[in-house]
């Protein structure tokens, strides 16, 4: 027996060297070495002495890295064992930390009597291709379909293809492949089909959906003033004799929006509205447009449900948004206003004026087309056009009808610059054409009058007393977060008004506003704000100065203070007060105080 062991030691290095020089031969040699007859060993070791069979002669190598390098034509092959061998304890600890099943005995529900025991013991112990469920079970006592067996076989093929396998293993796998060839092909076909369906879902992962959302506003206010404000910017108007006692009023505005999307990135909006909140310049309580609310709506027909908005918004290109409004269109709804806290009519400023620049962001018609393009993260370009009576297909008096038929028309352009998350600027230009008697200040200037004004009668809102008017409007906005508790937004606007029916006619108007907002004041979600500004007023009359206006004499001041309580995500209560000094730019008018409470419900 000792002689056999010695001869075997001599044979092993020879076989190992042969395996290194030829990988294919290594497999054959390793297999054959298990069955070599003792006589063959004795023949190979015949004539060797004890010195020849010593350990030093059999293993003439140094201790080094055990990695096998590609031998050159002249270099001898050296096999150096690695002493930095990871211990069994370390390997066990690593395996435990990974939480993987490395032995069939770790599967709690597999017993030697189950069909899966022998198969699992072979596959898991040798290749690790089937490891059971994450909770340590394999559930091998349950029957398996041929497709489940095909899936398991496919997993084993992936593992075996990257590992050393004996000829017997490969023959077994080949036999299994032949047995389940049909199922494997079907399974692969199903996977390909699923991939195609997933691609389709990703490309068209939206179904046409219509969402209903609504807003209801309750408004209550009282106007404190001794008399209705005089309505002449020249200071020569007279009281219209309205001495009726002002009353506390309670009104409402209800809106329902039907928003439909066809692709997920577009929106078709249909808005229905019913409202009954008085406009204080028309009901005689204040006598000036300067006192109008941002949420007022007065249906002359009496509480009828009307189509308030109809528009479609979509994105044909990356970064480009187009919008077409056939009813209720306005620039303010299409482009940035740089007044995020106070823009909304239902939850923003109480006064109509402090929501946005009235001469640039209000359109002269309710049919609009707009385009907003994000050039990059810092610059946004906006363009829009508006028309009144665009739906007319035939001429109607002085209005020739259609989009460009001679009715009121306007164009708008804006550039927005974002310097940081806390600082933004905006610059606008808007040109508008108004037919005779139209309000060029969009209901934020003095109430239109007859006689006693410019050209030879007029006021801020209609400086040429019923004549056609063209305006060039320029605006500049700032929106800045000064601190977490203080936000500022404001603007300045200049209007150059001319009448094509008067030679050398130009009237210059100015308006400005400063809004100080206090987010989360006293409680998270609440908000306070203080606003002050001058609604459109005349600063220069050009060649029309001889009519009685003194340049720079327009000094109306409007102020607002409000505090908004957030009851919950759907209900907000906003008490506040609007104060107007020298209404209609007439110093003989007493200050007008309008305390108001607005309650907004959103759903």
Instruction: Tell me: pLDDT of 216 over 90.
Output: yes
The pLDDT assigned to 403 comes to 62
Q: How many CB atoms lie within 10 A of CB 138?
A: 22
Distance CA 215, CA 251 (A): 14
Q: Which two tokens stand for residue 7?
A: 């001869």
554 vs 54, residue with greater confidence: 554
Q: Which two tokens stand for residue 253?
A: 């505005």
List all residues 6 or more positions away from 477 whose beta carbon is below 8 Å from its beta carbon.
337, 338, 339, 357, 424, 425, 426, 427, 428, 489, 490, 491
Crossing angle, helix 181-203 and helix 146-161, to 10 degrees? 90
> Which region among 25-34, 249-258, 287-296, 455-464 has the lowest average model confidence (pLDDT)?
25-34
Instruction: Tell me: pLDDT of 443 over 80.
Output: no
Closest CA to 131 of 105, 150, 111: 105
Q: Is 302 left (phi over 0), alpha (psi -120 to 50) or beta?
A: left
**Structure pTM?**
0.65
SS3 559: strand
CB-based burial, 397-424: b 16+ in 10 Å, e otherwise: eebebbbebbbbbbebebebebeeeeeb
Q: Residues 288, 584: contact at Cβ < 8 Å?
A: yes
Q: Residues 509, 417: contact at Cβ < 8 Å?
A: no
Crossing angle, helix 23-32 and helix 2-21, to 10 degrees? 160
Residue 335, CB half-sphere, CA atoms under 13 Å: how many?
33
Distance CA 359, CA 362 (A): 6
Instruction: Tell me: pLDDT of 544 over 70.
Output: no
Q: Residues 153, 161: contact at Cβ < 8 Å?
A: no
> For the segment 83-124, what is each residue's pLDDT rounded down to a tens digit?
454 454 444 444 343 344 545 556 566 566 666 666 666 776
> For the segment 583-599, what is each residue's pLDDT rounded down to a tens digit?
776 666 788 899 999 99
Mean pLDDT value of segment 477-505: 93
- Helix (H) or strand (E) holding 161, with range, is helix 146-161
> For the segment 158-213, what is each residue's pLDDT rounded down to a tens digit?
776 666 556 777 777 788 888 888 888 888 888 888 888 888 777 766 667 899 99
Q: Which two tokens stand for residue 499?
A: 């009448």
> Which region among 229-233, 415-419, 420-424 has the lowest average model confidence (pLDDT)?
229-233
Distance CA 160, CA 167 (A): 12
Distance CA 306, CA 318 (A): 35
> For the segment 242-273, what is each residue's pLDDT rounded down to a tens digit?
444 566 889 999 999 999 999 888 999 999 99
- Helix (H) or strand (E) holding 178, with range, is helix 167-179
Instruction: Tell me: pLDDT of 400 over 80.
Output: no
The pLDDT assigned to 234 comes to 37
The pLDDT assigned to 19 comes to 40
Instruction: Tell me: pLDDT of 332 over 70.
Output: yes
Which residue intervals of the chain bear CATH 2.40.160.10? 209-602
- Answer positive or negative: Cα dihedral of 122, 127, 128, 130: negative
Per-residue pLDDT band for 540 (boundaries 50, 70, 90) equals confident
If you average pLDDT over each of 136-140, 445-449, 451-455, 564-568, which comes out highest?
A: 564-568
Average pLDDT of the chain? 75
Q: Which two tokens stand for residue 324?
A: 């077409």
Distance CA 523, CA 529 (A): 14
Distance CA 464, CA 117 (A): 100
Distance CA 342, CA 575 (A): 14
**What is the CATH code for 209-602?**
2.40.160.10
SS3 119: helix
- Helix (H) or strand (E) holding 173, with range, is helix 167-179
The pLDDT assigned to 290 comes to 79
Q: Residues 239, 228: contact at Cβ < 8 Å?
A: yes
Distance CA 459, CA 235 (A): 10
SS3 221: strand
List all residues 6 or more positions away from 27 whose beta carbon is below 8 Å from its beta carbon.
19, 166, 167
259-260-261 Cα angle (round to 5): 125
List all residues 6 or more positions away from 397 whose beta carbon is below 8 Å from its beta carbon.
none
Closest CA to 557 of 537, 576, 538: 537
Distances in whole angstroms, Cα of residue 197 to Cα of each of 148, 188, 374: 22, 14, 33
Distance CA 449, CA 437 (A): 10
Per-residue pLDDT band for 504 (boundaries 50, 70, 90) equals confident
SS3 407: coil
Per-residue pLDDT band for 545 (boundaries 50, 70, 90) equals low
Distance CA 170, CA 164 (A): 10
Q: Torsion over CA of 258, 262, 263 and 264, rounded to 10 degrees?
A: 20
């Amino acid at each position: 027996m000792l002689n056999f062991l010695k001869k075997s030691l001599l044979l092993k290095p020879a076989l190992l060297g042969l395996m290194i020089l030829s990988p294919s031969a290594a497999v054959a040699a390793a297999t054959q070495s298990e069955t070599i007859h003792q006589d063959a060993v004795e023949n190979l070791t015949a004539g060797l002495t004890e010195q020849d069979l010593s350990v030093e002669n059999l293993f003439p190598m140094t201790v080094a890295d055990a990695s096998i390098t590609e031998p050159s034509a002249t270099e001898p092959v050296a096999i150096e064992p690695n002493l930095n061998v990871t211990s069994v304890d370390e390997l066990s600890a690593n395996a435990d930390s990974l939480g993987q099943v490395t032995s069939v005995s770790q599967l709690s529900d597999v017993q030697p009597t189950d069909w899966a025991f022998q198969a699992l013991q072979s596959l898991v112990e040798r290749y690790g291709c089937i490891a059971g469920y994450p909770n340590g079970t394999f559930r091998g006592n349950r029957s398996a379909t041929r497709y489940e067996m095909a899936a398991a076989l496919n997993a084993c093929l992936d593992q075996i293809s990257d590992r050393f396998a004996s000829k017997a293993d490969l023959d077994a796998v080949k036999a299994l492949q032949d047995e389940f060839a049909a199922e494997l092909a079907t399974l692969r076909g199903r996977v390909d089909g699923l991939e195609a369906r997933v691609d389709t879902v990703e490309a068209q992962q939206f179904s046409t959906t219509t969402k209903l959302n609504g807003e209801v506003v309750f408004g209550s206010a009282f106007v404190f003033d001794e008399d209705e404000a005089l309505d002449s910017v020249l200071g020569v108007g007279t009281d219209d004799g309205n001495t009726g006692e002002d009353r506390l009023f309670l009104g409402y505005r209800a809106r329902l929006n039907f928003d439909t999307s066809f692709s997920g990135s577009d929106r078709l909006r249909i808005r229905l509205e019913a409202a009954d909140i008085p406009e204080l310049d028309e009901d005689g309580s204040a006598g000036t447009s300067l006192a109008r609310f941002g949420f007022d709506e007065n249906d002359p027909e009496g509480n009828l449900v009307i189509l308030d908005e109809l528009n479609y918004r979509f994105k044909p290109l990356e970064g480009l948004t187009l919008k077409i409004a056939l009813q209720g269109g306005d620039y303010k709804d299409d482009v940035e206003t740089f007044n995020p806290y106070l823009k909304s009519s239902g939850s923003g400023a109480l006064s109509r004026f402090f929501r946005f620049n009235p001469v640039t962001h209000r359109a002269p018609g309710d049919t609009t087309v707009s385009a907003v393009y994000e050039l990059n993260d810092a610059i946004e370009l906006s363009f829009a056009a508006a028309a009144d009576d665009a739906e007319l297909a035939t001429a109607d008096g002085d209005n020739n009808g259609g989009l460009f038929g001679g009715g009121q028309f306007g164009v708008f352009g804006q550039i927005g610059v974002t310097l940081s998350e806390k600082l933004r600027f905006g610059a606008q230009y808007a040109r508008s054409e108004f037919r005779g008697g139209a309000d060029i200040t969009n209901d934020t200037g003095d109430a239109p009058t007859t006689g006693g004004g410019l050209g030879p009668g007029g006021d801020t809102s209609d400086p040429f007393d019923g004549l056609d008017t063209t305006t060039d409007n320029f605006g500049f906005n700032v929106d800045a977060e000064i601190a977490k508790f203080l936000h500022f937004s404001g603007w300045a606007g200049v209007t150059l008004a001319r009448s094509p029916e008067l030679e050398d006619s130009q009237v210059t108007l100015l308006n400005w506003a400063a809004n100080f907002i206090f987010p989360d004041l006293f409680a998270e979600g609440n908000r306070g704000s203080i606003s002050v500004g001058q609604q459109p007023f005349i600063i220069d009359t050009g060649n029309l100065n001889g009519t009685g206006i003194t340049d720079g004499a327009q000094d109306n001041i409007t102020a607002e203070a409000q505090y908004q309580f957030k009851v919950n995500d759907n209900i907000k209560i906003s008490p506040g007060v609007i104060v107007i000094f020298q209404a209609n730019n007439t110093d003989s008018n007493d200050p007008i105080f309008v305390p108001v409470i607005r309650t907004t419900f959103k759903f």
